[in-house]
A and B are shown apart, each in its own frame.
Chain A
Amino acid sequence: MTRQTRRTVVALCFLLPNFLGFLTFTVGPVVFSLAASFTNWNLMKTVPLRCVWFDNYVKLITEPEFWLYFINTAYLMLGMPIAIAGSLFLAVLISQRLRGMVVYRTLFYLPSFTAGVALLILWKALYNPTFGPINLLLEWVFDGVGLVQLEPPDWLASTKNVLALAVERVEIVSRQFGLGARDALIIMGIWTAIGGGNMLLYLAGISNIPRDLYEAAEIDGAGHWAKFRHVTWPQLAPTTFFIVIMSFIGGLQGGFEQARVMTQGGPAGTTTTLAYYIYTKAFEEFQIGYASSVAWILFTLIFAVTLVNWRFGSRYVSY
């Protein structure tokens, strides 16, 4: 055995445990779920397992429920631009060299290392329509500006939404306009995301921007805004690009914990996302084949969105 071959064997041995784990716990289930999506598997012994080819896919595409839950998923992603902009804003703020900045950084990052379920329960209490601090504050503001007739939102108990989407059909209905459960989840999502991983990525990006670029801009007479617009923002383009892609992926996969802990997918299914739908179909209704096909459609969507992002978004990354 040559030295090179021995080195290769040793390297493969190092990689083997991880590779085996990857094959067993990632590739295996992925391939299995793809195969399952072409079957009628529903855990019932009275139903002989057979290949149904694309039946599950045809069924889900023609089923209104799937599209409603897809819209719910997309709707919950509406907060994404605000969350990203907020993260950038915070990162710029806390990148300043000021006393006590470590404390601020820790505070802003707090939602990311606090137990998710605890946060969800806390928000549930915050959204209490009568005694929750949010509505008490809104009532106080409304009273203060003389708008006593205005009622604060019902939050998690309401099917209303800012796009006035109907509950059971894909259409706009004016009486559905307002703030409801979906908006409550968006606001909570923004709060969680602003000070999280995105902020850290931006912070790392900002610390990597060469100081001489700022110095050159200052010599040219640039103010704070001009320096941000012409130095910081273009230099952060790769970070923004990465964050946008990851946020899209996370958004399309999201909504499960919120639905499970806060709303059970309600009211009237308005907070049921595709991820939660997969869970209910697979583990409550035992339609494993059908649920697998929803999962693969979700994967295809994520893949397509990422490709589009890559194709068009990378134009704005100049280096």
Chain B
Amino acid sequence: MKYVFLGSFAVLAALSVVAGLWHPRQTDDRIELVWCTDDNPVRRGQIALFNELYPRYRLRIDPQNSGMQKVIVQSLAGVGPDLFDCYTGSQLVAYVRSGIAMDCTEALAERGIDIDAVWPCLKPLFVYEGRAYGHPDNANAYDIWYNKVLFDEAGEPYPSGDWTWDEFIEVAQRLTVRDERGRPVQFGFIGYWDYNAALAQWGADYYTPEGTRCVLDSPEAVAAIQFMQDLIYRYEVMPTPTEEMAMSSAGGWGTGVLGLFGAEKGAMALGGRWWLCLLRDEDYAHMRLGAVPLPHGPSRRQFGGGRATLVNATGQHIEGALTFMEYLHSKEWSQLVNRQADALGPVMKYHYGEYEDAFLHNPEHPEEDCNAEWRTALEDSVPLQVSSYVNGQTVERIMLVQLDLVKANLKPAAEAMRDAAEKINKAIVETLRIDPVLRDEYERAVAAGARPAWDDEEGAP
């Protein structure tokens, strides 16, 4: 028996060694680049074009490992991807500070990539403290989507886009339909719970300009969140959390707005051009879509964003990853993104002048006549504010709890925003307590006149 055991053990050990040393032979001589991104169907076309333009490489996506935590942990272990996506400025800060994102400022310049040529609102996604770590893939800003079929059924004229929130609410109220028990069948509007849109339109900021203090308790921020609550409980044009859950096909808290709009549960919705990636599908052929700018808030601005792809400093193929940056900066990429409606291409110039016609009119989708509106929305967009002094995920967790309470009408907006600001400022103090580098920076900023996160010395780190 012992010989059987020893023999089995020896065989297993030998197989383990072989597995560790053996690398499967590639089917061709091309270098394989791994890109951690989502499995959006449009990626197929984006990969195919790259492989065609740069035949030295074979690009492959790894959607299973695209979560931030997986990218960081795998990269620290030396098995990370060559390229990975970044959706917010706070994610970029985390990637840079963990040493995963590669500073490729000079390498981009050498390749003729002008980082100022992209939409300004995209900068925080790939530029941190003046250094570039990648390149944006697409750019997104919000408009109001509307379903022409539901407007026609209600005998409501299509919106022109030059409207105030008061005018908007009247239209939304006319488009809200309830059954005999008072249960919602269709809402005039869905999706304004993307609180960044409201904060921008009401002129609110997340932080002081230096990022040293959270100012979400400002009158502007409170007014923005109060307006969101009023859309549900005062004007009754937007679903309560319960109604939203009831209307969703899968059921459940936290269901996406895009799904609800696609299911014709809302006549209007706050969304981006990238929704077309789904809404072009045959399943939604019965919908006729239009898009108009957001109603005028106290401010015209809105927060714009998108997605950037960063170069992994621990990746195996830096040269290939930089080639991918060239691709993202190219005319071919921006035009492909525009054709696919994966939001808008990242480089501004490919939407104007000689390229304008190709952007505005897609021969495969002649019914899409509102591309100019998406461009205007991006022109009005400013970058979402980020503070280096607090983890973006922590901020999001704090905001979600407070907004859940506002959304359920359990807390007035003023109280929720006061509590949110207080907790975020506490998180800033906590960061400073553990991070000496940031603390030095912070102290310099405060010495130069920036407002600290604490009100008295007792609250200081």
Residues of A that sit less than 8 Å from B by CB = 10, 13-14, 17, 40, 42-48, 52, 121, 124-132, 154, 156-159, 167-168, 181, 262-264, 266-269, 280, 282-287
- On chain A, the residues within 8 Å of B250 by CB distance are 121, 124-125
Contact of B241 among A127, A132, A157, A262 (CB under 8 A): A157
Contact B435 A44 (CB under 8 A): yes
Contact B98 A13 (CB under 8 A): no
Please name the residue on chain A nearest to B254 by beta carbon: A264
Q: Mark B219-253, 1 if CB is under 8 A from A, else 0.
A: 00000000000000000000011111111101111
- Within 8 Å of chain A (Cβ to Cβ): is B393? yes
- On chain A, the residues within 8 Å of B435 by CB distance are 44, 46-47
- On chain A, the residues within 8 Å of B160 by CB distance are none
Q: Considering the chains assembled together, what is the distance between the CA atoms of A123 and B397 in angstroms?
A: 25
Stretch with Cβ within 8 A of A (4 or more), from B378-386, B398-406, B447-455: B398-406
- Given that A125-B250, A128-B251 are contacting pairs, would A45 and B98 also be in contact in the complex, using a CB cutoff of 8 Å? yes
- On chain A, the residues within 8 Å of B2 by CB distance are 10, 13
- On chain A, the residues within 8 Å of B99 by CB distance are 45
Contacts A130-B242, A285-B393, A287-B391 known; list 10 others, CB within 8 Å. Answer: A13-B9, A45-B97, A121-B250, A125-B251, A128-B252, A264-B253, A264-B254, A267-B404, A284-B69, A286-B391
Q: Is the interface of B mostly helix, strand, loop or mixed?
A: helix
Contact of A267 among B5, B248, B408 (CB under 8 A): B408
Kindly identify, within residues 402 to 457 of chain B, every residue whose CB is under 8 Å from any CB belonging to chain A.
402, 404-405, 407-408, 410, 419, 434-438
Contact B410 A167 (CB under 8 A): yes
- Given that A13-B2, A44-B98 are contacting pairs, would A262 and B252 also be in contact in the complex, using a CB cutoff of 8 Å? yes
Please name the residue on chain A nearest to B67 by beta carbon: A283
Contact A280 B6 (CB under 8 A): no
Please name the residue on chain A nearest to B437 by beta carbon: A46
Residue from B68, B72, B252 having most chain A Cβ neighbours under 10 A: B252
How many residue-residue contacts, CB under 8 A, span A and B? Answer: 125
Kindly identify, within residues 12 to 70 of chain B, every residue whose CB is under 8 Å from any CB belonging to chain A.
68-69
Q: Considering the chains assembled together, what is the distance between the CA atoms of A81 and B307 in angstroms?
A: 49
Contact of B397 among A43, A267, A280 (CB under 8 A): A280
Q: Considering the chains assembled together, what is the distance between the CA atoms of A283 and B393 in angstroms?
A: 10
Kindly identify, within residues 355 to 406 of chain B, every residue whose CB is under 8 Å from any CB belonging to chain A.
391, 393-394, 397, 400-402, 404-405
- On chain B, the residues within 8 Å of A269 by CB distance are 401, 404
- Given that A44-B435, A46-B435, A286-B72 are contacting pairs, would A268 and B408 also be in contact in the complex, using a CB cutoff of 8 Å? yes
Q: Considering the chains assembled together, what is the distance between the CA atoms of A44 and B434 in angstroms?
A: 11
Contact A13 B251 (CB under 8 A): no
Residue from A14, A130, A263 having most chain B Cβ neighbours under 10 A: A130
Contact B98 A286 (CB under 8 A): yes
Contact A13 B6 (CB under 8 A): yes
Contact A181 B253 (CB under 8 A): yes
- Given that A13-B6, A45-B97, A284-B69 are contacting pairs, would A128 and B391 also be in contact in the complex, using a CB cutoff of 8 Å? no
Measured between C-beta atoms, what is the minimum distance from A218 to chain B in Å?
51
Q: Considering the chains assembled together, what is the distance between the CA atoms of A22 and B94 in angstroms?
A: 34
Contact A157 B401 (CB under 8 A): no
Chain B interface, number of residues (Cβ within 8 angstroms): 45
Q: Considering the chains assembled together, what is the distance between the CA atoms of A266 and B193 in angstroms?
A: 15
- Given that A45-B98, A154-B242, A284-B393 are contacting pairs, would A159 and B438 also be in contact in the complex, using a CB cutoff of 8 Å? no
- Within 8 Å of chain A (Cβ to Cβ): is B76? yes
- On chain B, the residues within 8 Å of A132 by CB distance are 251
Contact A266 B404 (CB under 8 A): yes
Contact B246 A131 (CB under 8 A): yes
- Within 8 Å of chain A (Cβ to Cβ): is B280? no
Q: Considering the chains assembled together, what is the distance between the CA atoms of A283 and B70 in angstroms?
A: 8
Measured between C-beta atoms, what is the minimum distance from A4 to chain B in Å?
15
Contact B6 A268 (CB under 8 A): no
Q: Considering the chains assembled together, what is the distance between the CA atoms of A86 and B290 in angstroms?
A: 55
17 A-B pairs in the complex with CB atoms less than 8 angstroms apart = A10-B5, A43-B98, A46-B435, A127-B251, A159-B408, A262-B253, A263-B254, A264-B253, A264-B254, A266-B253, A266-B404, A267-B404, A268-B402, A268-B408, A269-B401, A269-B404, A284-B393
Please name the residue on chain B nearest to A11 by beta carbon: B2
- On chain B, the residues within 8 Å of A14 by CB distance are 5
Please name the residue on chain B nearest to A282 by beta carbon: B69
Contact A124 B252 (CB under 8 A): yes
Measured between C-beta atoms, what is the minimum distance from B441 to chain A in Å?
10
8 closest cross-chain pairs (CB), A and B: A130-B246, A268-B404, A283-B69, A128-B251, A124-B252, A46-B437, A45-B99, A154-B242
- On chain A, the residues within 8 Å of B438 by CB distance are 46
Contact of B76 among A10, A43, A52, A128 (CB under 8 A): A43
- On chain A, the residues within 8 Å of B94 by CB distance are 44, 286
Q: Considering the chains assembled together, what is the distance between the CA atoms of A76 and B228 in angstroms?
A: 32
Q: Considering the chains assembled together, what is the distance between the CA atoms of A267 and B409 in angstroms?
A: 12
Q: Considering the chains assembled together, what is the distance between the CA atoms of A159 and B251 in angstroms?
A: 17
Measured between C-beta atoms, what is the minimum distance from A52 to chain B in Å?
8
Please name the residue on chain A nearest to B430 by beta carbon: A59
Q: Considering the chains assembled together, what is the distance between the CA atoms of A125 and B391 in angstroms?
A: 34
Contact B183 A13 (CB under 8 A): no
Q: Considering the chains assembled together, what is the distance between the CA atoms of A269 and B400 in angstroms?
A: 9
- On chain A, the residues within 8 Å of B243 by CB distance are 130
Q: Considering the chains assembled together, what is the distance between the CA atoms of A131 and B250 in angstroms?
A: 11
Contact A129 B245 (CB under 8 A): yes
Contact B98 A266 (CB under 8 A): no
Contact B404 A156 (CB under 8 A): no
Q: Considering the chains assembled together, what is the distance between the CA atoms of A266 and B242 in angstroms?
A: 13
Contact B408 A158 (CB under 8 A): yes
Q: Considering the chains assembled together, what is the distance between the CA atoms of A121 and B248 in angstroms?
A: 13
- On chain B, the residues within 8 Å of A46 by CB distance are 97, 435, 437-438
- On chain A, the residues within 8 Å of B76 by CB distance are 43
Measured between C-beta atoms, what is the minimum distance from A51 to chain B in Å?
12
Q: Considering the chains assembled together, what is the distance between the CA atoms of A13 and B254 in angstroms?
A: 53
Contact B410 A42 (CB under 8 A): no
Q: Considering the chains assembled together, what is the distance between the CA atoms of A158 and B404 in angstroms?
A: 10
